[in-house]
Structure formats: C-alpha cells, structure tokens
C-alpha cells in the first residue's frame, strides 16, 4: 500500500476506533526502519508514523493500527500495559489486525523475561529518577522497582512472584544501584575539583592584577 492509501486509512480508523480524537499524523512508507522497530514506528513528538515498504496489504494495515495504538497512549515503556490494553480493545472491536498483533496479552508478554531488557529498563529508570530526585533514588527498593516495571510492562502480579520467577532480578537491580552511586560520587568529585580549580585560578588572577605596594623610603 502506498502513503496516500495509508493516510486515508489513518483518517478512517481514527474516526472508527478513536472517535476522531487522535491528532493528525504524517504517514510515510520507508525502505528501512531501525532494528528495534522492524515493521513500523510511531514518533509522537514529530507526529509521524513510519511503515516499512514491502509489507502485504494485510500486514501494512495491522502495522498502521499497531502504531496508531502507540499514538493513543502515554509514552511509557515500549509495549506497556496501556498499549496492550489498547490493542486488545481494537481486537475486540473487530479491527483488521494480523499476525502477532492478534495475540497480544495483558499479562506477561514475554513468557520469559529477557535479562538484558530488564537490565536496560532498570538502568534507564534509575537514571531518569536520579535526574529528578537523586537522594530518593538511592533509597528505592527492588519491590518498588518491580511494581513500577509491572505497571508499565505487564507480567506477573506481585513483586514476590516476579522475584520467584526471575531470581536474577535482584542482582541486576543492586548492580545498577551500585553503579549509579559510584557514578554519582565520581560526578560530585569532578564538580568539586572543577570548583576548586576555578577558585584557585580566580585567586591567582586577582593576585596578578593587584599592584605592588610601593617601597618604603
């Protein structure tokens, strides 16, 4: 399908499934999308949806709806609970979804959570929190982090169940916190050293600009 057809479908789907509440988006059919988004991508700030060229009509339509669901929900996580709820709503409304878009579950979407994905999520979330509340970040417990993760990404229902299923989560979380503390200390030390050097330079400059006292007769 070409861009013109997909733009027309966007308008049609917006009215049918969202009551016309989605803002206007540009639709582009492109030759390549990043490996993280192989079939489509929604860029909310730019109000742009990209769809990979070469998809069948059925796939392109499903991918368009997939990306429109991203446009409709808050930007938290990738396929977070809010997005999955939206996809399930579309499926139940009879939207023309296809392939894996028909199999979205509200519960654990992975079957088994990938360690690297969880590590990256922890790193990103702690850094984001640290930027706003540095002292609070260092007090965050694993159970609170898991509650936040499940709220965004779905999965098991309680922190205890999560830790039983993914016993390696504690190691990843504690390692990320230690690294954050170390980096924060290095950053603080660097700032202190810069301030000290700046003060020394300022003092030196003032001394060099001070005229010498005249010699006593």
pLDDT exceeds 60 at position 142: yes
For the cut 70, the answer to whether the pLDDT of residue 13 exceeds it is yes
Higher-confidence position of 193 and 11:
11
From the list 44, 52, 101, the residue with the least C-alpha distance to 71 is 44
Go through the domains of the chain in sequence order and give each one's CATH number. 3-103 (3.30.2010.10), 115-209 (no CATH)
Which tops the pLDDT comparison, 87 or 78?
87
Residue 6 · residue 51 · CB < 8 Å:
yes
- Per-residue pLDDT, averaged over 133-154, amounts to 77
Q: Is the pLDDT of residue 197 over 90?
A: no
The predicted pLDDT at position 72 comes to: 93
Q: Between these two residues, 170 and 37, which has the higher pLDDT value?
A: 170
C-beta neighbour count of 143 within 10 angstroms = 14
Residue in this structure with the two tokens 């001070």, named with its chain if needed: 210
* DSSP structure string for 71-105: HHS---SSS-HHHHHHHHHHHHTT----GGGGG--
Q: How many degrees, rounded to 5, is the angle at CA 102 between CA 3 and CA 164?
A: 125
pLDDT at 104 over 90: no
Q: How far apart are CA 197 and CA 217, in angstroms?
A: 39
């Amino acid at each position: 399908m070409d861009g013109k057809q997909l733009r027309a479908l966007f308008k049609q789907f917006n009215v049918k499934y969202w009551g016309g509440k989605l803002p206007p988006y540009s639709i582009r059919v492109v030759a390549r999308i990043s490996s993280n988004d192989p079939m489509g991508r929604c860029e909310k700030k730019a109000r742009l949806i990209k769809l990979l060229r070469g998809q069948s009509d059925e796939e392109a339509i499903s991918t368009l709806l997939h990306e429109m669901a991203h446009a409709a929900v808050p930007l938290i996580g990738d396929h977070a609970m809010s997005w999955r709820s939206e996809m399930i709503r579309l499926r139940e409304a009879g939207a023309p979804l296809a392939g894996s878009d028909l199999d979205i579950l509200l519960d654990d979407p992975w079957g088994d959570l990938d360690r690297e994905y969880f590590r990256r999520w922890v790193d990103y979330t702690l850094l984001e929190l640290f930027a706003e509340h540095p002292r609070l970040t260092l007090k965050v417990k694993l159970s609170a982090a898991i509650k936040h993760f499940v709220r965004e990404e779905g999965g098991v229902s309680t922190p205890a169940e999560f830790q039983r299923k993914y016993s390696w989560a504690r190691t990843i979380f504690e390692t990320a916190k230690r690294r954050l503390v170390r980096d924060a200390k290095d950053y603080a030390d660097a700032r202190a050293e810069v301030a000290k050097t700046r003060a020394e330079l300022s003092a030196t400059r003032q001394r060099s600009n001070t005229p010498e006292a005249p010699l006593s007769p």
